[in-house]
Structure 1
Amino acid sequence: MRPQQPLLTDRGFYLGPMFRQAAERHGPVFVTLDRPLDVHPGLGVDLTYTVLADLVDELSAQLWEAGIRPAEEVAVHKTDNVDIVLLTCALSRIGAVPALLSPGLAGPVVGRLLERLHTPWLITDRAKLEGPLKDVDVAGLVRGTLSVDDAPGAVPLEKYAGSAPRRAVRMHSREPALITHSSGTTGLPKLAVHCANTMWNRLVPQKAMGWPTRGETAALHMSFVHSRFYHLLGVLLSFGSPLVLITDPDPANVAPILTRHRPGIVETHPNTFVLWEELADAPGAPLSRVRSYGSTFDAIHPRTVQRLLDASERRAPWLIQLYGQSETGPVAFQWFTRRGASRMDGRRVGIGIPGFTRVRVADESGRSVKPGSPGRIEARTRGRILTYLGAREQYQRQLDRGWWQMGDMGYRSRWGALYLIDREIDQIDAVHSNLEIEDTLMSRLEELREVVIVPGADREPVPVVCVRGEQALDPDRWREATADLPTLAEPRQWRFEDLPMTATWKVKRVEITRMLAEGAVA
């Protein structure tokens, strides 16, 4: 009798062995950084798959020697850099559960998230402990604090340098494997618990989408604490793609790197793509060899898509947009080409992923509505997280017989295409779609860096605008651009840097409304 095989043993996406498997399969493919690693600055910025695989093995040995064991939760909260990724993979390699907390979180928020974890370890640095975490009782919330540098009150990882190598630990595919957090646009971020099986169900369709560009050099500027980054990394490593990993999105920093490497794949946050519009005609043509742009986390403005595609000299470049959230992974997708971008509807976010996701629009009773009728967007997906850590009831409230409430309002066309109207919490009665007006204004006023429509004190639509170069908004051009739009309040001009943002550069609209109510000015 043949021995019974464990179920789903091959259906798990494990972060720990990613770099080693890629190095064994593809060899020393180059990986370029824009700043040295905090955990090993002496390595410089020109690395390889093999170097990073060795470093992940070395870090996992140090973390084990420090006392971290399988199934233990480990919060990673440090200054933004690529070593967040390496620490995550090293923790996964020894069976621990990385809990990735954005470098941009305020100290008190980090403290509350640490409370929700199960007496975790903390990996951090001097900048965090002496900065945002200065007034947080870190010692009372964690079982031990490790630092990538010489931070006071923490044990330096360097203390365990030279530790004996450890064999990799493989946890069951339905056990918690990774914890990330939601964007926090409407309040305290929620801790999303992923397992290797749900992550595999997100990885497979993304591999299929990436197949046409396998092997192309990929330039990425993305949040290193977001699950989307790890899935894209898994796709690119499996194809042996050279990598350019960018921490600082300033065009002055990015342009020379892209000009040097001529990437065929570029992915970043939609708001960063707006910033990178100026790279379209930059000296050296840094975007001239791009074959595929990737955009996720939020809808992208049509103007931005057109400029990016026009900057490429490839015969038929495209931009792929993924619609989803941390809790579900991508649930809908679509491609834009040069021809389609000129007439694209920025509210169209695509169709469900065949075999992996289904999308519907439902009324308040949970019944599907007719095509063209607005309602609540819901998704059914194999990639849904296991739970919200410390908020199980909130997780259950977002489920309706297996359908996950995305928190967005939208509608579907006769042919099944999904259109996004607004976040439920952001809707304004006097406006059909804030997002649609924003797209229109961005297309009509090329000087805009960002425009956000939020409800004012009397629920009137208030435009908050940011102008490139911090120039003053031209009132005549504004009046002309808004003449045929719903009546808007007088625009409030802010600096882009003053907009409250998430780790993925999503604008915190609820926070802006609160700031306006408290009298915030330009």
Structure 2
Amino acid sequence: MSRSSARHGGLHLGLVPQLAAARNGGTPITLDHEMDLFPGSGRQSTVAELADRVDDVAARLWAGGVRPSEHVVIHKTSNFDIYVLATATARIGAVPVMLSPALDGDSVITLIERLERPHLVTDAAKLTGPLSAARPGDLTDRLFVTAGDLPGAASLAELAGSPRRRPVLMHPDHPALMTHTSGTTGLPKLVVHSARTLHGRYRPQQRLAALVRGPETVALHVSFVHSRMYLALAVLLPRAMPLVVMDESGPEAVAELFAATRPGFVETHPNSFMEWEPLADDPRRPFSSVRYFSSTFDAIHPGTMDRLLRASERRSPVFFQIYGQSECGPLVGRGYTRKGAHKADGRCLGFAMPGMTRFRLVPRDGARPSRETPGYIEVSTPGRALTYFGERARFEQQVHGKWWRGGDVGYRTKWGCLHLLDREVDVITGIRSTLAVEDVVLGRLAELAELVLVSGPRQEPVPVVCTRDDRPLDTARWHEAVADLEPMADPVQLTSAELPRTATMKIRRIELAQRLRERLERAS
């Protein structure tokens, strides 16, 4: 894939399945669900079948009137056919715009309006649910549904059998994919990637894959609309490693799937790994075969890494922690083993990737960045996106020459390791690092499934906690665990389902803080 990418000036997503099939077409792909777009296709397929389906759907979209450089919004129920739709769109030179199934209807409509009459691929569940009041057909050029027949929409099912077409390769600096930011600070921004910037993200991920010794079954639970999904498959599909692609994250389903497929490499979001922690003691031993764990979105709690590593029965398992952003891809990282995970500093994200990424710390208040006076984290990488669609000025505010300021604050240790303390917008007066406090308390109280420290109605630090199985919090144990930490308000207990989350399972901290303030004000 790397030779092909270089020859074409970038990573062209529409070619990925075809080129992988030419090398390893028989490699198996297992899904934990059936694809809506291909009813009756089952859960087992091969890389060659995936490539054929992408070619098929590309032909259907072309027959439906989609043309090169046009925007195609893909917003439907979570399913692996989202990947097929996106790569099929890219195969005919159009620009897939990925909107999470978890986005609320108002946000989806606002982003569609920003795109000025794009095409929209969706399904009946969205059109009759979150989008029903907005008449999305009035805001789009062509409206496609993945199944069934709805008034005003073209059915992709009825376009099956359309003549196949040769792929269309756009200029490597032309927009090639749009994904959105997590939306933790409000309406998500549309991040514009090109084939060239995607290749800049591909290189460090290819290097990580090269560390995997021998063929391993890879289990992947990543949002189907996130750029990480497309880069992960660009790396994995040509490598003849059997794939297990997951939509379901519930621990019981995960235990059954892993017991059946025995993956050697597992990648998912940090919060999903936290949700799966109790499976370390499951008699089905779902993690016994795992040699490599990978978390590529945010820092992960050391206790989570330690517990999962000890659940593996492989020799010398490794937990890769990679820090990245939607705008830049992977930036820094490091690996942990059983010997060091339990005593790791959860704020340590790792080191820059030699020859590919760099970072620097910029003073926030005139003081030299340090643990006590953290600075802005700025990064330099060939994987940086082109812009925010429709918000260029907002994007340029974060650009400082070749450096990108992503909104996180931290410091560099004398060993060159990057430590992240907080998002700038999440800093709370009197707390050195909300994330560090969360790491410490989660390490002391195994009964906690989640802890989020947010600002209360009087700007006081308020811990929001979720317990495993939603059992009542033992307040005596809580106060003992936090006695030596910075002063905080009494904890507020919620169920895990009450936490607002992004597509990658991050907590929407600003939204949670607002809900909490409203709740506390009503109670006072």
Q: Name the CA distance, whole Å, in 2 between partners of 1:373 and 1:488.
A: 21
User: What RMSD, in angstroms, separates the aligned Cα atoms of the two structures?
Assistant: 1.6
The alpha-carbon deviation at position 263 of structure 1 amounts to 0.5
Using structure 2 for the length normalisation, give the TM-score.
Answer: 0.96
Q: Letter of the aligned partner of 1:319 in structure 2? A: F
The alpha-carbon deviation at position 215 of structure 1 amounts to 2.7
Q: Secondary structure at the match of 2:211?
A: helix
Q: Name the CA distance, whole Å, in 2 between partners of 1:370 and 1:75.
A: 43
Give the structure 2 partner of residue 204 of structure 1. Answer: 203
Q: Is this contact kept in 2: 1:291–1:316, CA < 8 A?
A: yes
Alignment of 1:72-221 (within 5 A): 72-153=70-151, 154-213=153-212, 215-221=215-221
The alpha-carbon deviation at position 139 of structure 1 amounts to 1.8
The alpha-carbon deviation at position 365 of structure 1 amounts to 7.9
Greater alpha carbon shift after TM alignment, 388-397 vs 15-24: 15-24
Q: Name the CA distance, whole Å, in 1 between partners of 2:336 and 2:248.
A: 27
The alpha-carbon deviation at position 298 of structure 1 amounts to 1.6
User: Deviating runs (4+, > 2 A) in structure 1?
Assistant: 7-11, 364-373
Q: Secondary structure at the match of 1:194?
A: strand
Q: Is this contact kept in 1: 2:364–2:374, CA < 8 A?
A: no
Q: Name the CA distance, whole Å, in 2 between partners of 1:239 and 1:280.
A: 29
Per-residue CA deviations over 1:451-498 (Å, capped at 9, x if unaligned) read: 000011111100000001110000111111111111110100000011
Q: Secondary structure at the match of 2:305?
A: helix
Greater alpha carbon shift after TM alignment, 357-366 vs 216-225: 357-366
Q: Name the CA distance, whole Å, in 2 between partners of 1:94 and 1:337.
A: 44
Q: Is this contact kept in 2: 1:101–1:181, CA < 8 A?
A: yes
Q: Secondary structure at the match of 2:276?
A: helix
Q: Name the CA distance, whole Å, in 1 between partners of 2:159 and 2:206.
A: 37
Give the structure 2 partner of residue 478 of structure 1. Answer: 478
Q: Name the CA distance, whole Å, in 2 between partners of 1:366 and 1:202.
A: 33
The alpha-carbon deviation at position 118 of structure 1 amounts to 3.6
Give the structure 2 partner of residue 12 of structure 1. Answer: 10
Q: Secondary structure at the match of 1:280?
A: helix
Give the structure 2 partner of residue 4 of structure 1. Answer: none
Give the structure 1 partner of residue 27 of structure 2. Answer: 29
Q: Is this contact kept in 2: 1:372–1:412, CA < 8 A?
A: no
Give the structure 2 partner of residue 45 of structure 1. Answer: 43
Q: Name the CA distance, whole Å, in 1 between partners of 2:211 and 2:418.
A: 24
The alpha-carbon deviation at position 367 of structure 1 amounts to 9.6
Q: Name the CA distance, whole Å, in 1 between partners of 2:426 and 2:511.
A: 11
Give the structure 2 partner of residue 450 of structure 1. Answer: 450
Q: Name the CA distance, whole Å, in 1 between partners of 2:274 and 2:419.
A: 21
Aligned CA distance change for structure 1 residues 461 and 202 (closer, same or farther; 3 Å): same
Q: Letter of the aligned partner of 1:435 in structure 2? A: L
Q: Name the CA distance, whole Å, in 2 between partners of 1:284 and 1:8.
A: 44
Per-residue CA deviations over 1:345-366 (Å, capped at 9, x if unaligned) read: 0000011111111101101489
Give the structure 2 partner of residue 329 of structure 1. Answer: 329
The alpha-carbon deviation at position 326 of structure 1 amounts to 0.3
Q: Is this contact kept in 1: 2:371–2:410, CA < 8 A?
A: no
Per-residue CA deviations over 1:299-355 (Å, capped at 9, x if unaligned) read: 101110001100111111111111111001111111111111021000000111111
Q: Name the CA distance, whole Å, in 2 between partners of 1:93 and 1:368.
A: 49
Q: Is this contact kept in 2: 1:73–1:118, CA < 8 A?
A: no
Q: Secondary structure at the match of 2:281?
A: coil
The alpha-carbon deviation at position 193 of structure 1 amounts to 0.2
Give the share of equivalent positions with the same residue, in percent: 48
The alpha-carbon deviation at position 374 of structure 1 amounts to 1.4
The alpha-carbon deviation at position 151 of structure 1 amounts to 5.0
Give the structure 1 partner of residue 417 of structure 2. Answer: 417
Give the structure 1 partner of residue 254 of structure 2. Answer: 254
Q: Name the CA distance, whole Å, in 2 between partners of 1:163 and 1:466.
A: 51
Give the structure 1 partner of residue 399 of structure 2. Answer: 399
The alpha-carbon deviation at position 284 of structure 1 amounts to 2.1
Alignment of 1:257-268 (within 5 A): 257-268=257-268
Give the structure 2 partner of residue 63 of structure 1. Answer: 61
Q: Name the CA distance, whole Å, in 1 between partners of 2:104 and 2:62.
A: 29
Q: Secondary structure at the match of 1:330?
A: strand
Residue 358 (str. 1) matches residue 379 (str. 2): no
Give the structure 2 partner of residue 514 of structure 1. Answer: 514
Q: Name the CA distance, whole Å, in 2 between partners of 1:447 and 1:394.
A: 42
The alpha-carbon deviation at position 239 of structure 1 amounts to 1.1
Q: Letter of the aligned partner of 1:70 in structure 2? A: P
Per-residue CA deviations over 1:212-240 (Å, capped at 9, x if unaligned) read: 22531100111011111111111111211
Q: Is this contact kept in 1: 2:80–2:224, CA < 8 A?
A: yes
Aligned CA distance change for structure 1 residues 143 and 353 (closer, same or farther; 3 Å): same
Matched residue count: 516
Q: Is this contact kept in 2: 1:324–1:331, CA < 8 A?
A: yes
Q: Is this contact kept in 2: 1:9–1:173, CA < 8 A?
A: no
Q: Letter of the aligned partner of 1:169 in structure 2? A: V
Q: Letter of the aligned partner of 1:55 in structure 2? A: R
Q: Secondary structure at the match of 2:453?
A: strand
The alpha-carbon deviation at position 84 of structure 1 amounts to 0.2
Q: Is this contact kept in 2: 1:360–1:368, CA < 8 A?
A: no
Q: Letter of the aligned partner of 2:487 in structure 1? A: T
Per-residue CA deviations over 1:86-116 (Å, capped at 9, x if unaligned) read: 1011111111100000000000100010011
Give the structure 2 partner of residue 311 of structure 1. Answer: 311
Q: Name the CA distance, whole Å, in 2 between partners of 1:366 and 1:151.
A: 62
Per-residue CA deviations over 1:344-396 (Å, capped at 9, x if unaligned) read: 00000011111111101101489974687511111111100000001000000
Using structure 1 for the length normalisation, give the TM-score.
Answer: 0.96
Q: Is this contact kept in 1: 2:372–2:432, CA < 8 A?
A: no
Q: Secondary structure at the match of 2:283?
A: coil
Q: Letter of the aligned partner of 1:34 in structure 2? A: D
Q: Name the CA distance, whole Å, in 1 between partners of 2:464 and 2:357.
A: 35
Q: Name the CA distance, whole Å, in 2 between partners of 1:189 and 1:163.
A: 35
Aligned CA distance change for structure 1 residues 280 and 273 (closer, same or farther; 3 Å): same
Q: Name the CA distance, whole Å, in 1 between partners of 2:419 and 2:444.
A: 21
Q: Secondary structure at the match of 2:169?
A: coil
Q: Is this contact kept in 2: 1:288–1:314, CA < 8 A?
A: yes
Q: Is this contact kept in 2: 1:186–1:508, CA < 8 A?
A: yes
Q: Name the CA distance, whole Å, in 2 between partners of 1:151 and 1:467.
A: 44
Q: Name the CA distance, whole Å, in 2 between partners of 1:135 and 1:296.
A: 37
